[in-house]
Amino acid sequence: MSRELLQNVRVLDPVSEIDRIADILIAEGNIKAVEEKIAEYPADTEVRDCQGLILGPGLTDIYSHSGEPGFEDRETLESLIQAAAAGGFTRLAILPDTSPPIDNLAGLALLQQHIRNLSPGGPRLYFWGALTAGVKGQQMAELGELVSSAVVGFADGLPLSNPALVRRLLEYIQPLGKSVALWPCDRTLAGKGAAREGAVSVRLGLPGIPASAETSALAAMLELVASAGTPVHIMRVSTARSVELIRDAKARGLPVTASVTWMHLLLNVGAISGNSKDSGGKNALTASLAYDPNLHLEPPLGNLSDQLALIQAVKDGVIDAIAIDHNPHTYEEKTVAFADSPPGAIGLELALPLLWHGLVETGEFSALELWRVLSAGPAVCLGQTCARVAPGVSAELILFDPDMSWTVDGSSLKSRSANTPWLGQQLAGKVVQTWIY
């Protein structure tokens, strides 16, 4: 293995709370030294001046979607791995809503074998096992069978509408020692809505989804967690009231963690109008089309008050992680009326540069705060050991150039799909190297 000496690089390690300029020596797949100045090193070492670059632990995505199996025209596992690597993600957990779904041991084993053949040395892919058979929310999947095959945890990635089933699932899973991720959403309240209910959705003429579609389901979910005592991860938090409920639940000692998707921190429902005034100045899009179907998300983009509450909740630690929820769709699927389009957008290659410039450079987050909720926070939620930048540990690192300019288009994206509102825009920030050992 080669030896590399990175000089004058900005080192970020949220586990050790380190943010400093240093030299770092990497050899034989391990971090050998992190010092202010490394003057002595082997003669065959490759020396690089990394002034202006940022070195941090590899990022972890707690949940995203794969097109394969079943929808390879959207995304293959190979393109998903390439997109993750390009975006700085060294660990990626895949939701089970594939076709067929990941709800049995045989299907999971085939996927795991396929991954081993595809990506030696690439990002580590993990799979969520389905909570319910066929991810239909009707009956429990073969959880005991799946737990023996090293699933990262259990999640459908879809709302569960039967509280009695949720209760049974929590009671059954508790002794298995695996993560459980649930998305609080009452489909009957959400109806056929396409945007967060409020003044902007009324002005845009889009059917609204009330905040109570999330908060009522979350309140019920928290009662079940309190009763069962099973640790639960709350997915896709998107409302200010949900933040209050989770804050209270944590204060009462309930075993819950929570995540917000990256776009809900950078945008609000006003972005759909294409008018920056509607978003209250809190819009990371420099330009956008009105009613861009790539802004049709699930849960929907919140109102400005929701966005501000989510940002503060991440800073306060009420929300533990930022999820990417990468959800590829083809051009044909998304080129329809806003409310008729399938919800979701890609994000693995875009999240780090946009969050860096939208939150760190604006002073909303410190660099360590952002790195914590993209690396250490998600790893803890998955029950994994956090990657670190410290002597004596394996190198699981990324080198990020916050100033490198690139255009978001089909030639630059590794993802097979390009369903993003930033398509055609020029961004600053690119991962230039990844180490995974």
Instruction: List active site positions.
Output: 325
The phi and psi torsions of 160 (rounded to 5 degrees) equal -105, 120
Q: CA-CA distance, 32 to 3, in Å (whole number)? A: 10
Per-position DSSP letters for 413-426, written without gaps between them: --SS----TTTT-E
Per-position DSSP letters for 128-189, written without gaps between them: EEPSBGGGSSSSB--HHHHHTTT-SEE--SS----HHHHHHHHHHHGGGT-EEEE----HHH
> How deeply is 176 buried, as exposed, middle or buried, from its count of CB atoms within 10 A (0-12, 13-18, 19+)?
middle
Q: CA-CA distance, 411 to 311, in Å (whole number)? A: 32
Pairing status of strand 256-261 against strand 3-13 = unpaired
Q: Buried b vs exposed e over 295-321: b needs ≥16 C-beta within 10 Å?
A: bbbbbbbbbbebbbbbbebbeeebbbb
- Are 279 and 358 in contact, with CB atoms under 8 Å apart? no
